């Protein structure tokens, strides 16, 4: 099947390496929701995420022009200029070879980028199938290309069946399949989506916090910003993180290393989440869990089935499936196996037996415009591409199913009913993955993806895929009381323990530079002490809990002062008034602090912990609390009486 998209970049050959990964321990679920497996599109997204994440890096690591693959080192882009110049044919970015090999490059890229050498301007993509990378300096030309990555050294046969990538129409998009890609089999197209590539943003603050730091004291009453509401970006980040955590879908957003990314990615995600929850409430199975295990068990057939010519959309990259460690690989295979059944299935009339193996062979990203100086390094270019793609996909993906170019919208149709039962047709089966940017995800009751996978009947929840593709060797703040998300934790563990992730390895090698990758969040000294640094925050910290930052006396004082004036219940105002500069203090934090202050004031000094708060402040807390509580009750009474009068 071909996944058609309107992207420029085509990531081809996205296959799950057979048994390439060792199982990882299952992570402990931290949130209930997490246990429910992933959504269909999550699955796809995962694939995308994989591309973008650690392995994705690999993918992006090598840039191919035309068919010849070249591994570009970190040399100035200029050197490659000519090449690019003629690349009309297409640049291919691929991850060639085993995933574990390329990490170095990836790392390198990051480093270079982080150094700020490259500045990228926002780029946008057009819907047409060609992707372009433009050097604003004129260094680059546009190319349409595909990224070929075949990480599936072991599965090459799968590719056999590819067809022209022509895919049919892509729904509303005008995208036309770009024939250019040789194997457009399953190219995932992402609709054009404006992406902003942050300049050197690069690494998001740890925990998404922007840190203000010094300002912590922040008692700047005078400085009431008229600035609109206080919207801590952080919140957004947090949200994302949380979502990710709960959904296991860490990849994309997180992937982005840029804090900024959150802006773009966040919203969609948020909405998505909302939707999801809404549905759940409604009882929809929207989030139908795939159960990885089940997949494995049921689906896994031998991949060896040869004959399958069609492409498949593969399940989540093994990398992502970390949850059930031991199974992860297996599950992946299972998917493959499923496909194989598919092939053989023709004969089997049993709809029940029907199995489809899916692999995403190519992933095309819409046109991207990247502004980059000529003297930037190739590595930085790669990184930019990565960021761009990440941004595009960060909000999640919507899945569409195309059969012979026709979009199958009825999610309730069985595959057979939809005509996806024969080989001949399977060839024309395609998927569309669209960035789930602004709109809510389409009803995914049974999104196609799931449908395809369903044959496997998963009964167990899909193990949480660890979205976090890149196992960053994250240094977990010593302070962090609880392990980051189970997934994360797990991830980390495994990384440390046994199988070092590629990234990690590379990191080691690049140790000298590694620091560059680890932006130290700006924070006050105490905070630093706690969190030495965090390595390239990528997703691993996904769910990292914010570090604890005890309120200083001055902060308490400021808080008390503000509350005395504004009262309780107006935390946003309090924040604005007294903590506008303390980015790490959200109004919720202030509210919580007040709560604890009140409690502290009520208990005996012996029971208090932490930095002692001057008694006079505590007294003020109590009085203010009493005062405002009274006010509140009065107000209520007043309202009530008014209501009564009206009645």
Burial class (CB in 10 A: 0-12, 13-18, 19+), 263: middle
Backbone angles phi, psi at 633, to 5 degrees: -65, -35
230 binds DNA (CB under 7 A): yes
* 583 binds DNA per the rule CB under 7 A: no
- Applying the rule CB under 7 A, the residues between 19 and 38 that interact with DNA are 31, 33
- In the complex with DNA, the residue whose CB is nearer, 413 or 565, is 565
Q: What is the largest CA-CA distance in the chain?
A: 84
Nearer to DNA, 224 or 229 (CB): 229
CB of 545 to DNA, least distance (A): 4
577 binds DNA (CB under 7 A): no
Instruction: Work out whether 110 is an interface residue with DNA (CB under 7 A).
Output: no
Among the listed residues 373, 338, 368, 369, the one whose alpha carbon sits nearest the alpha carbon of residue 354:
338
Nearer residue to DNA within complex by CB, 448 or 555: 555
Write the CB contacts of 515 (distance below 8 Å, at least 6 apart in sequence).
533
Site for DNA contains 346 (CB under 7 A):
no
As measured in angstroms, the least distance from the Cβ of 34 to DNA is 10
Interface segment toward DNA; rule CB under 7 A; list 70-78, 88-96, 238-246, 469-477:
238-246
Instruction: Return the number of the residue (342 or 533) whose C-beta is nearest DNA.
Output: 533
Smallest distance from DNA to CB 428, Å:
42
| Cα–Cα distance for residue pair 143/366, rounded to 1 Å | 12
How do strand 91-94 and strand 9-14 relate by DSSP bridges?
unpaired
Q: How far apart are CA 420 and CA 427, in angstroms?
A: 9
Sign of CA dihedral 327, 328, 329, 330: positive
Position among 101, 242, 413, 439 found at the interface with DNA (CB under 7 A): 242
At 363, list the tokens: 């992933």
Q: What's the rounded Cα separation, in Å, for the pair 320 and 501?
A: 12
Among 7, 245, 288, 296, binds DNA (CB under 7 A): 245
**Nearer to DNA among residue 11 and residue 272 (C-beta):** 272
Closer to DNA by Cβ: residue 49 or 208: 208
- Cα three-residue angle 283-289-294, rounded to 5 degrees: 140
Residue 182 binds DNA (CB under 7 A): no
- Candidate ranges 103-111, 212-220, 375-383, 590-598; the one touching DNA (CB under 7 A): 590-598
Q: Which stretch binds DNA (CB under 7 A): 72-80, 232-240, 416-424, 443-451?
A: 232-240
Q: Indicate whether 69 belongs to the interface with DNA (CB under 7 A).
A: no
Q: Could you give the residue ranges of the DSSP H alpha helices within 443-552?
A: 448-453, 486-497, 502-509, 511-517, 525-530
- Number of residues in contact with DNA under rule CB under 7 A: 36
C-alpha–C-alpha distance, residues 293 and 79, integer Å: 49
Q: Which 3 state secondary structure label does DSSP give 68?
A: strand
* CB nearer DNA, residue 281 or residue 645: 281
With contacts defined by CB under 7 A, name the span among 63-71, 398-406, 585-593, 638-646 that binds DNA.
585-593
Contacting range for DNA; rule: CB under 7 A; set: 198-206, 253-261, 447-455, 580-588:
580-588
Helix, strand or coil, per DSSP, at residue 306: coil
- Nearer to DNA by Cβ, of 277 and 326: the residue is 277
> At 210, which helix (H) or strand (E)?
none
Beta carbon of residue 193, minimum distance to DNA (angstroms, whole number): 20
Check residue 416 for interaction with DNA (CB under 7 A). no
List the one residue from 75, 86, 231, 638 that touches DNA (CB under 7 A).
Answer: 231
**Per-residue mark of binding to DNA, 534-573 (x: CB under 7 A):** ---------x-xxxxx------------------xxxxxx
d(CA 522, CA 545): 17
DSSP state of 299: I
User: What's the full length of the chain, in residues?
Assistant: 647
Measured CA to CA, the distance from residue 23 to residue 224 in angstroms comes to 54
- Regarding 236 and contact with DNA (CB under 7 A), the answer is yes
CA distance 73 to 84: 15
- Helix-helix angle 553-566:587-602, to 10 degrees: 100
178 binds DNA (CB under 7 A): no
- Kindly indicate which of the ranges 21-29, 419-427, 503-511, 587-595 contains the residues binding DNA, using the contact rule CB under 7 A: 587-595
Where b means 16+ CB within 10 Å and e means fewer, 479-513 reads: ebeebbbbbbbbbbebbeeebbbbbbbbbeebeeb
Site string for DNA, 257-296 (x = CB under 7 A): --------------------x-------------------
Q: Which stretch binds DNA (CB under 7 A): 21-29, 77-85, 178-186, 224-232?
A: 224-232
Q: Is 237 in the site for DNA (CB under 7 A)?
A: no
Instruction: Find the shortest distance in angstroms from Cβ 463 to DNA.
Output: 19
User: Under the criterion CB under 7 A, does residue 489 sit at the interface with DNA?
Assistant: no
Among 422, 595, 634, 638, binds DNA (CB under 7 A): 595
CB closer to DNA out of 239 and 539: 239
**What backbone torsions phi and psi does residue 98 show, to the nearest 5 degrees?**
-70, 145
Note whether 588 binds DNA by CB under 7 A: yes
Structure tokens at 89: 């044919």
Cβ closest to DNA, residue 275 vs residue 543: 543
Q: Are 257 and 537 in contact (CB under 8 A)?
A: yes
Q: Which residues between 294 and 323 bind DNA (CB under 7 A)?
A: none
Query: Among the residues of 225-377, which ranges form H helices?
Result: 233-247, 251-255, 261-282, 292-294, 325-345
Which residue from 491, 442, 620, 552 is spatially nearest to 217, judged by alpha carbons? 552
Q: Which residues bind DNA (CB under 7 A)?
A: 31, 33, 207, 229-231, 235-236, 238-239, 242, 245-246, 277, 543, 545-549, 568-573, 584-585, 587-589, 591-593, 595-596
């Amino acid at each position: 099947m071909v996944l058609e998209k309107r992207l420029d970049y085509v990531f081809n050959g996205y296959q799950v390496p057979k048994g390439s990964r060792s199982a990882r321990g299952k992570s402990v679920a931290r949130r209930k929701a997490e246990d429910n497996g992933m959504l269909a599109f999550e699955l796809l997204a995962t694939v995308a995420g994989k591309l973008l994440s650690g392995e994705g890096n690999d993918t992006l690591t090598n840039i191919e022009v035309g068919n010849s693959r070249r591994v570009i080192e970190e040399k100035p882009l200029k050197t490659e200029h000519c090449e690019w110049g003629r690349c009309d044919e297409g640049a291919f970015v691929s991850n060639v070879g085993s995933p574990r090999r390329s990490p170095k490059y990836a790392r390198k890229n990051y480093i270079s980028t982080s150094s700020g050498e490259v500045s990228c301007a926002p780029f946008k993509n057009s819907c047409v199938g060609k992707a372009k990378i433009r050097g604003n300096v004129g260094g680059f030309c546009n190319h349409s290309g595909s990224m070929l990555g075949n990480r599936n050294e072991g599965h090459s046969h799968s590719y056999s069946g590819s067809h022209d990538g022509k895919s049919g129409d892509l729904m509303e998009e005008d995208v036309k399949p770009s024939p250019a890609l040789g194997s457009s089999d399953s190219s995932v197209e992402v609709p054009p989506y404006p992406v902003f590539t942050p300049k050197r943003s690069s690494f998001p603050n740890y925990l998404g916090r922007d840190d203000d730091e010094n300002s912590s004291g922040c008692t700047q009453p005078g400085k009431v910003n008229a600035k609109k509401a206080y919207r801590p970006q952080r919140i957004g980040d947090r949200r994302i993180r949380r979502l990710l955590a709960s959904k296991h879908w860490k990849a994309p957003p997180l992937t982005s290393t840029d804090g900024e990314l959150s802006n773009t990615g966040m919203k969609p995600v948020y909405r998505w989440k909302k939707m999801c929850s809404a549905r759940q409430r409604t009882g929809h199975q929207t989030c139908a869990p795939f159960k990885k295990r089940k997949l494995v068990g049921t689906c896994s057939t031998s991949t060896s089935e040869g004959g399958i010519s069609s492409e498949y959309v593969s399940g989540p990259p093994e990398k992502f499936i970390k949850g059930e460690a031991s199974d992860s690989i297996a599950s992946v295979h299972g998917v493959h196996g499923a496909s194989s059944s598919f092939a053989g299935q023709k004969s089997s009339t049993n709809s029940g037996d029907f199995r489809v193996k899916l692999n995403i062979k190519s992933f095309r990203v819409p046109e991207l415009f990247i502004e980059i100086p000529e003297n930037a390094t190739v590595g930085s270019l790669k990184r930019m591409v990565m960021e761009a793609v990440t941004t595009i996909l960060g909000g999640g993906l919507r899945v569409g199913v195309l059969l012979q170019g026709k979009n199958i919208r009825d999610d309730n149709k069985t595959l057979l009913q939809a005509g996806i039962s024969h080989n001949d047709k399977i060839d024309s089966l395609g998927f569309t993955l669209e960035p789930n940017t602004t709109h809510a995800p389409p009803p995914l009751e049974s999104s196609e993806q799931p449908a395809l996978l369903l044959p496997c009947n998963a009964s167990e929840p899909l193990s949480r895929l660890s979205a976090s593709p890149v196992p960053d060797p994250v240094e977990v703040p010593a302070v962090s009381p609880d392990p980051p998300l189970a997934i994360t934790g797990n991830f980390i563990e495994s990384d440390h323990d046994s199988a070092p992730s590629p990234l990690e390895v590379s990191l080691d090698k690049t140790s000298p530079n590694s620091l560059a990758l680890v932006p130290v969040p700006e924070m006050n000294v105490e905070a630093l002490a706690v969190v030495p640094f965090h390595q390239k925050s990528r997703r691993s910290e996904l769910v990292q809990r914010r570090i604890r930052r005890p309120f200083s006396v001055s902060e308490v004082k400021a808080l008390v002062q503000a509350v005395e004036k504004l009262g309780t219940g107006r935390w946003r105002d309090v924040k604005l008034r007294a903590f506008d500069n303390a980015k790490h203090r959200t109004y919720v934090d202030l509210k919580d602090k007040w709560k604890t202050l009140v409690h502290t004031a009520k208990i005996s000094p012996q029971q208090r912990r932490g930095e002692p708060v001057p008694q006079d402040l505590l007294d003020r807390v109590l009085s203010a609390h009493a005062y405002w509580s009274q006010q509140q009750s009065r107000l209520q009474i007043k309202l009530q009486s008014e209501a009564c009068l009206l009645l």
